Structure 1
């Protein structure tokens, strides 16, 4: 398995995986808009970076992250927005490999930490993070508002 940053050539597979993520969370399996993907990932000021796990030509999963500032003091943190492993690739160490790559990416970018949220009704994700030895933080409340 190889983990690398997505390129514009990966737009179609990212679109497909976004549809799989929607379906996983109970929505319609609608692929992501390729134009939005290109704009958000491969423009002059990208909103996020995507790491892809591959086995040859097959994409097994992705991790999408953005940088947050300030983290602690004037430090930067890497914020994991989405970690997803395709159904056929689950239980093969893909998520662990992506999490390891995220830590390496954060260190290479000079970040002081990696942060993320997880849905409480996603036991496989919670079990993974616990197995990685990461403790839950109870001091924050998550908010969301529509625009």
Structure 2
């Protein structure tokens, strides 16, 4: 499958089921299918509204979507610039190593450049050695001195004073 004709496009409302399928496949890959709470209704409320909270790029080969990138705007006070947060990057297993992930990241970098973003950031599981190697090959630095902090579910309610 050398020299694939990879097309990257922004997702449309008609892609809702496909996006949910990719999110489900990624949750399986990450080993957390039990955490999957996304539904097409929930996705529709955030993706395809007047001011979407998140955007999705789809990578297609021969007209068939084989991967996606989900991202949203963030901000760096240190840079005083907008940034992009890549929430998910996923390519179906039999299409990995063929340039599809690179095409998705390249499209994301073009969006970042066109909107004067100071950086693109994301997390990667420390056990995902192939993913880490892939990201480093794309020029990413893995920041070992920063840890993700998370408050979710009931902890949000407790902290909010509920």
User: Common fold, TM-score beyond 0.5?
Assistant: yes
1:110 aligned residue: 116
Scaled by the length of structure 1, what TM-score is found? 0.91
How far apart in 1 are the matches of 2:83 and 2:77?
5
Offset, 1:142: 1.0
How far apart in 2 are the matches of 1:71 and 1:17?
33
- The alignment status of 1:132 with 2:138, answered yes or no, reads yes
Q: Please state whether the residue corresponding to 2:65 is helix, strand or coil.
A: strand
2:31 aligned residue: 26
Q: Please state whether the residue corresponding to 1:120 is helix, strand or coil.
A: coil
Unaligned 5+ residue runs, structure 2?
Answer: 1-5, 154-162
Offset, 1:71: 4.6
Query: Who wins on radius of gyration, i.e. which is larger?
Result: 2
Aligned length: 147
Contact residue 40 and residue 46 of structure 1 kept, 8 A: yes
Offset, 1:54: 0.5
Deviation string, structure 1 residues 39-98 (Cα, Å, up to 9, x no partner): 111112212111110113311100111111235342100111111001221111111111
Deviation string, structure 1 residues 95-143 (Cα, Å, up to 9, x no partner): 1111111100111122111111111011111010121232222342211
Unaligned 5+ residue runs, structure 1?
Answer: none
2:102 aligned residue: 96
How far apart in 2 are the matches of 1:140 and 1:85?
26
CA RMSD of aligned residues (A): 1.8
